[in-house]
Structure 1
Amino acid sequence: MTTTAPRPGSRPDDPPADAPAAGLSDPRATLRLGHPRELLALVPYLLGFPPRDSAVLVSLRPPGRRLGVVVRTDLADVVGPDGALLADSLAGHLRADGAAEVVVVLHAGEGDPRDPDRGLRVARGSRAGRAADVLRRAVADLAPLTVWSVDEGRYVGLDCRDPGCCPVGGHPLADLSGGELAGRLVGARGGVAGSREELGLVRPAAPGPRRSAAAARSRWLDALLRADGPDAVLRWRRRSLDAWRTAAGASQDPLGPRPSAAVLGRLEAALLDPVVRDAVVLTLVDPDDAGLPEAVLRTGVAGPGLPGVPGGPGPGEDQWPEEAGEQVPGAEGGRVGDGADRGSGPDATDVSDRVRAALDLVVDPVRGREPREDVTAAGRALLEQVVAHGRRDQQAPALTVLALLAWWDGDAVRASVLVERALDQDPGHRLAELLDRALGAGLPPGWVRRRC
């Protein structure tokens, strides 16, 4: 598994390189290294979790060793049969980022991989040594490479043969606190999770509220299945969207009432309908166009495809042609969003154009903008409550929208974890598949791409 993160704290309005340094809590601050080993203490903050059995590659860009793209991959994949192909792909991300120097940090779980009996050369059979060889070949024509090994709270330069500089067993990692740089990353991104998996963890609610949510979910799905004709389906969708807007609005007020378990169960059912889910995403993407989600419900025009993402829609294509007729899990024989109610004609064409313009706010490097934090924070909180109160292992719709918000916010690592969970629960989920391709290709959201 490979995850790619955009530059830490990067924003489209970053100050120029010669501007005064921003304050420590300013997420727009540009991070620069005095020495590559400073990265060793920063890696957990850059990724959001302490890596294990991993290779982490970091691009350093001119001027002044600015931190660039950060890529983590499983060490087993690097030393596996397809390791060379993987390494070439990783090198492509670094090349696209304009790397002038590359730092590799290996977490192999084998202590100091150097052998004192061989003059501190890498021990034969060392996984760290094999991974380093593969990665060196991939970036040989790209930029100078420095390789470090970190394990058991100690670090060592993999190519260092001087016991005075790099003693057997290495130096304590605690000597490299990260100092100011770590503080700035904490201010911009928050703390460090205990593991990669914890980045996507949503703890389930208590059994009682979950039972109440399950009953409400069943009632709301039954209401859809009993809907007689397009007008009745449209009324169901409008009531679903109204429930989302009311709950999301309340979530913007920290002192406001929390949504009940019944409301969360209704929202879980509503998100199973791709048309409602698309409308929900549009409330988060472009809150200034309050009429667009309603227009999507009315016309049945597909919503949040990702133009420009590998495997995404091309010019003139509907965003979600494959999703027509999506099966509703748990609703025997029930389908929503079938092709019969997908709109056509001038009105639908106008709505499709408006949808594409809204999506450009996420993906387009010219028009792309950062998420509006008050809106997306409320959306995240509400979606996490839906997951917490919903059926175990059947939360792909909510998890995928959470992943989209994380990716748009520049947190590619959390987005990757959430997408993996969504695809584990629903391997054919179209939006999750598109996000997975975007993350695998290292494609950042539009506001980040504008700086590239």
Structure 2
Amino acid sequence: MTTAIEPTPADDEFTGTPAESPADPARGASRERPALRADDPCECIAAVPALLGFVPRRSLVVYLLRRPPGGAGSAALSAVARHDLEPPGRGGWARLATQLTALCVRENTLAVLALIVDDRAGAPHSGKPGVRSGRHRYLVRALERALAAERIALDEVWAVRELAAGQPWWAVADPEVGGVQSDPAASPIALAEAVDGYRIKASREDLESLVAVDAQLCAEVRPEVDRAGILAGQRFRTAIFRDELDRYRRSLLNRVLDRVAALASDGTVDARALAETAVALRDPTVRDAAFALAGGLRAEAAARLWAQLCRVLTGSDRAEAATLFGYSAYTRGDGVLAGIALRAALESDPDHTVARLLDTALGTGMPPHEVRKLAYSGRAKAAELGVEFDLRADWLQP
């Protein structure tokens, strides 16, 4: 069976990604990906790091095969999702299986393939037979029962100690069935991403570091943010007095666009520019307009700007930047990075309305082309201020 690649974000609990695009803040517009052969274990296993955007460890990775429209033709790979392999006790396995099944139902899943990545496992003929194999078989039984209740097949379950060329893989149901892994870096999907300059992260922690607060940078930027906030307050009061609020907001938005242009050209933005951008995003109209950048020709530069802001800000300012960064990742079909960024936003400001809405949309499986509509709303906000945005022609295409 040859799977078609199409984007659908995975459940929040199952940190997932569509097979369409990996996790990177500089990721460009999505394009057609190489087809993945679901009947070839070596190819499926090798593709995992490119599909997730990082190399998973101690994880359950699942491939969701969607029912084709009309019920005819080959199944399509709708999503690849991942869960930590450390649920508490047997009840944890059951909850994990229930969450996966709920995701499968939302995705109209026909069948599931699974991969267990566990460095503590003893590979067949390795001298450590049976190490953790009992736990893995219990997990498989829990998955089979939960999926069968919804008439979803668990086709294959493979296991590896690590994802690396030359390392063994084997079938959990019959460890005598197995082979040697091919090089993940040489998988067709990974090679397609390499053409775009994309590099797979070594771990999920590497992805989280993209939005992690840098205490030293925060200390450098904080005084600039305070100064920029005072100046902005003065200009806002003057604009209100002169009935020039739109003009004031247009100047703020243009400053944000200038920072994006600077990143696009030479890749640098200093502490003062970052602070002025953070203060500009405090204005709801400017922030809403900034969502349109995710669909523009400088989407990559905008994503880098939001990522930089995430690292140097705290509180509600950080929440605004993380929400924009999460939205940018979501619209590219990057569920893993979107989930990380949106959680960072909600940790900084639990009441952030847009972050909560996007997080809910991601968790319920809303496809990227649906949330891309927010960029059109942003473009309309910018137009009201006299600023024109050009969105890519394919922006709303599924």
Normalising by structure 1, report the TM-score.
0.64
Query: Is 1:231 aligned to 2:240, yes or no?
Result: yes
* C-alpha deviation, 1:161, in angstroms: 4.7
CA 1:399–1:181 in structure 2 vs 1: closer, same or farther (change >3 Å)? closer
Query: Is 1:38 aligned to 2:65, yes or no?
Result: no
Whichever residue aligns with residue 50 of structure 1, its letter is V
Name the residue aligned to 1:72: 82
Do 2:47 and 2:187's aligned partners in 1 also have CA atoms closer than 8 Å?
no
Name the residue aligned to 2:19: 7
Question: Equivalent of 2:205, from 172, 177, 197?
Answer: 197
Name the residue aligned to 2:389: none
How far apart are the structure 2 equivalents of 1:389 and 1:183?
A: 33
CA 1:215–1:383 in structure 2 vs 1: closer, same or farther (change >3 Å)? same
CA 1:393–1:178 in structure 2 vs 1: closer, same or farther (change >3 Å)? farther
Q: Deviations along 1:202-248, whole A, 9 cap, x unmatched?
A: 387895x7666333311222234455487159365443222112222
Name the residue aligned to 1:249: 261
Greater fraction helix: 2
Q: Equivalences for 1:29-428 in 2 at 5 Å?
A: 29-33=33-37, 34-61=39-66, 63-64=73-74, 66-77=76-87, 81=91, 83-112=93-122, 126-140=134-148, 141-152=151-162, 153-162=167-176, 165-166=177-178, 171-174=179-182, 179-187=187-195, 190-202=198-210, 213-226=221-234, 227-228=236-237, 231=240, 234=245, 237-252=249-264, 254-255=265-266, 258-282=268-292, 284=293, 371-372=295-296, 374-391=297-314, 395-428=318-351
Q: How many residues align?
A: 340
What value does the CA root-mean-square deviation take over the aligned residues? 3.9
SS of 1:50's partner is coil
Larger radius of gyration, structure 1 or 2? Answer: 1
Do 1:54 and 1:108's aligned partners in 2 also have CA atoms closer than 8 Å?
yes
CA 1:54–1:116 in structure 2 vs 1: closer, same or farther (change >3 Å)? closer
Whichever residue aligns with residue 168 of structure 2, its letter is R
Name the residue aligned to 1:297: none
Name the residue aligned to 1:438: 361
CA 1:110–1:210 in structure 2 vs 1: closer, same or farther (change >3 Å)? closer
How far apart are the structure 1 equivalents of 2:327 and 2:254?
A: 22
* C-alpha deviation, 1:160, in angstroms: 0.9
Whichever residue aligns with residue 136 of structure 1, its letter is E
Do 1:410 and 1:448's aligned partners in 2 also have CA atoms closer than 8 Å?
no
Whichever residue aligns with residue 432 of structure 1, its letter is A
* C-alpha deviation, 1:400, in angstroms: 1.3
Q: Which runs of 5+ in 2 are unaligned?
A: 1-12, 23-29, 373-395
Q: Which runs of 5+ in 1 are unaligned?
A: 11-25, 286-370
CA 1:274–1:393 in structure 2 vs 1: closer, same or farther (change >3 Å)? closer
Do 1:9 and 1:30's aligned partners in 2 also have CA atoms closer than 8 Å?
no
Whichever residue aligns with residue 428 of structure 1, its letter is D
* C-alpha deviation, 1:83, in angstroms: 4.1
How far apart are the structure 2 equivalents of 1:107 and 1:124?
A: 12
* C-alpha deviation, 1:196, in angstroms: 1.1
Whichever residue aligns with residue 351 of structure 2, its letter is G
Do 1:69 and 1:94's aligned partners in 2 also have CA atoms closer than 8 Å?
no
Do 1:393 and 1:425's aligned partners in 2 also have CA atoms closer than 8 Å?
yes
Do 2:42 and 2:182's aligned partners in 1 also have CA atoms closer than 8 Å?
no
Larger RCO, structures 1/2 (Cα 8 Å, 6+ apart):
2
* C-alpha deviation, 1:48, in angstroms: 0.5
CA 1:66–1:9 in structure 2 vs 1: closer, same or farther (change >3 Å)? farther
SS of 1:70's partner is strand
CA 1:56–1:199 in structure 2 vs 1: closer, same or farther (change >3 Å)? same
* C-alpha deviation, 1:439, in angstroms: 1.8
Between stretches 413-422 and 174-183, larger displacement belongs to 174-183
How far apart are the structure 1 equivalents of 2:302 and 2:117?
A: 35
